[in-house]
Structure 1
């Protein structure tokens, strides 16, 4: 893939490049907004494993916004689910 132009890559491949750039800076805290958009199931699961490894083995903090609540439950040690119904305020629905 390294010889391809960025415009030739799929959405998931572009997303992985963006994430690699973040990892290369070795931050203490990752703040991620829908980081797995465009990734297939296998890629998402590998990404979640990588985040969990960074959290547990390298003491990194991770704050991630996602719609994949069920998919990440066994990777996350805290889970906050926000619910907003039409014409109502946001509220915290559950927290694990």
Structure 2
């Protein structure tokens, strides 16, 4: 069996670079510093929705609105998806 690494923001991070480093570190040449693993890149379709634990409508600094958000505060739902759906599906 192999451990699984879930790479969040898989569409932003350099997947090939990450896997290349992992592959290099798991070779005898580099003394098998890490175990070989399966890497699953998860693209993010809505960061403010999936990665914020609480809801906010806008982000202000010195009474100036810097950014507004349509959806926020659903980090718990995203975590539940990972825990209850994605990880069990991968494990099988």
Larger Rg: 2
Q: Normalization by structure 2: what TM-score?
A: 0.30
Q: Normalization by structure 1: what TM-score?
A: 0.29
Structure with the higher helix share, 1 or 2: 1
